[in-house]
Amino acid sequence: MEQIQKYKIRAEKIIVKYGKSIALDSFTASIPEGISGLLGPNGAGKSTFIKSILGLIEPASGKIKVDGVRDDMTTIERRDIIGYMPEHQCLIDNMEGFEFVSYMSRLSGLPRSDAVERSHAALDFVGLGEERYREISSYSTGMKQRVKLAQCIAHDPEILLLDEPTTGMDPDGKKEMLNLIERLGGLDKTLLISSHILHEIEQVSDYVVIINKGRKVKSGFMDDIMKTDEGRYKLKILGDRKDIHQFIESLKKNCEIIRTVDKQKEVAVVVSDLDKTDKLFELVEESGIQLRYLRPDLLTLEDFFLESLSGGEKSGDRSY
Ligand SMILES: Nc1ncnc2c1ncn2[C@@H]1O[C@H](COP(=O)(O)OP(=O)(O)O)[C@@H](O)[C@H]1O
Ligand SMILES: [Mg+2]
C-alpha cells in the first residue's frame, strides 16, 4: 500500500569512510514525520548516519536533505532545527543539570530569559525535579540520559535525533524514556531513534529503517510490516525424529520454511507461501506425525529484522 507521506530527511547514496573502512556504503533512506526507528546491530553505522544528518560528518559522496536546512548553514544554525541526543557522554560533570541545559539552549541561539524558562520546561518534561540543581557528576545514568534528552528538546526543534536513548538505563528508566519519546511523537515532531534493541523500536516507531554493515537492508511503515502475510502459518508438530524430518522435507516442496524451532518433544515451524492447508493435512497424514497447532502467523518486526540480517538465510533451519 502506498502512503502519502512527507519525508523530513532524505539521504541518497551516502558514503562515509573512516580511513579505509566504509561506515556508510551507498546508504539511502527517507525519514517521514512521526517516530522512526533506526535499527541495527552495533557497528552498523547508526551513529555515523545521525552525525551525517547533523553535518558533524561530511560524507565522501551522496546527499542528505533535511527539511528547513540549507547547505550553507553552520552546525549551530542546524541545531536550531535539529535537536541531538548523542550516544556517548556529552555532559559537563561539574555543572548543575539546569545550568547545563540552559547553557546548551543558549548555544542553540535562545536569548537568556527564554533559555531559563525553556530549560525548566524541558527538565519538567523529562521528570527531573529538584535534582536539576545538583552537579551532574552526582547523577545516576538514568538521570544523565534525562538531562541529555532535556538539552535536545529545550530549544523546541522540529527534528529530534536520539542516538541509543535508553543506553545504560534500568528497565523502569527505559520504559519512561520510551514513554517520553512517544509523547514527543504526539507533538508533531519528527524523531529518529537509533537502537540495536528490536522491541524498543517496535514499541514506539511508526516507521523503521534497518541498517547493517553500512547499508540499508529494509525500511517501511510498521503497519505495513506488521500486517498478516497471507499464506504464512505457524505449526507445531510431534512425532519421531525420522518422521518429522520426512515431513519437513516434503513440506519444503510445497512452501517456504521461514524457521524451525526444535524443542525436543515438539517442533515449531513457520512457513510462508502455503497455498492450501489441505496439502498440509495430507502431508501430516502421510508422514504419521501429529499436528498440535496451526494458525496464521503475523509477520513481526523480529522476523523482518532477522530475515534482513541473514541475507535470505532462514534462521534455525539447519537441523533438518
Ligand atoms: N571515529 C571512527 N574512526 C574509525 N572507525 C569508526 C569511527 N566511528 C565509527 N567507526 C566504525 O564505523 C562503523 C560504524 O560505526 P557506528 O556508526 O558507530 O555504528 P553504530 O552506531 O551502528 O554502532 C563501525 O565499524 C565503527 O567501528
Ligand atoms: Mg552508535
254 alpha carbon, distance to own chain's centre:
34
How confident is the model over 191-245, as pLDDT tens digits? 999 999 988 999 999 999 999 999 998 899 988 877 767 788 999 999 999 999 9
320 in any annotated domain: no
Residue 313 pLDDT: 38
Kindly calculate the radius of gyration of the chain based on its CA atoms and give it in whole angstroms.
Answer: 24
Residues 219 and 248 in one domain: no
Q: Which amino acid is at 294?
A: L
Asked if 181 and 275 sit in the same domain, the reply is: no
pLDDT at 302: 77
The residue among 225, 260, 290 that closes a domain is: 225
Establish whether residue 45 lines the binding site of ligand 1, counting it when its CB lies within 6 angstroms of any ligand atom: yes
Q: Which ligand is nearest to the CA of 21?
A: 1
Separation of CA 108 and ligand 2 centre (Å): 23
CATH of the domain at 276: 3.30.70.120
Cβ–ligand 1 distance for 86 under 6 Å, the answer: no
Q: Residue 143 falls within a domain, yes or no? A: yes
What is the pLDDT, as a whole number, of residue 306?
76
* Nearest atom of ligand 1 to the alpha carbon of 49: 17
Q: Which domain holds residue 287?
A: 227-309
Both 289 and 232 in one domain: the answer is yes
Q: CB-based contacts of 20: which residues, under 8 Å, 6+ apart?
A: none
Counted residue by residue, the chain has a size of: 320
Domain assignment present for 318 = no
List of residues 6+ apart from 313 with CB closer than 8 A: none
pTM of the full structure: 0.81
Tell me, yes or no, whether 274 lies in a domain: yes
Query: Is 58 a domain residue?
Result: yes
Cα of 15 from ligand 1 centre, angstroms? 13
- Give me the pLDDT at residue 319, please: 33
* Domain match, 148 and 172 both: yes
| Mean pLDDT split into 10-residue runs, the chain, 320 residues | 71 96 96 96 96 94 94 86 92 95 91 94 97 96 96 95 95 95 93 94 94 93 78 92 94 91 88 88 94 85 74 39
pLDDT score for 231:
84
100/195 same-domain check? yes
Indicate whether 45 and 138 sit together in one domain: yes
Assigned domain for 319 exists: no
Q: Does 59 sit in the ligand 1 pocket, CB within 6 Å?
A: no
The domain boundary residue, chosen from 174, 204, 225: 225
Ligand with the closest atom to the CA of 167: 2
pLDDT the model gives residue 230: 77
CATH number of the domain within which 152 lies = 3.40.50.300
Task: Looking at the CA of residue 40, tell me the nearest atom of ligand 1.
Answer: 22
Co-location of 41 and 179 in the same domain: yes
In a domain, 317, yes or no: no
What pLDDT is attached to residue 45? 97
Query: What pLDDT, on a 0 to 100 scale, did the predictor assign at position 5?
Result: 61
Q: Where are the beta strands (DSSP E) in the chain?
A: 7-18, 21-32, 34-39, 61-66, 82-85, 159-163, 190-195, 207-212, 215-221, 228-238, 256-263, 266-272, 290-298
Specify the pLDDT at position 312: 41
What is the domain count for the chain? 2
Q: What pLDDT does residue 228 have?
A: 65
Return d(Cα 148, Cα 211) in angstroms, integer.
Answer: 24
Does some domain include residue 314?
no
Q: Are residues 189 and 236 in the same domain?
A: no
43 C-alpha to center of ligand 2: Å?
A: 7
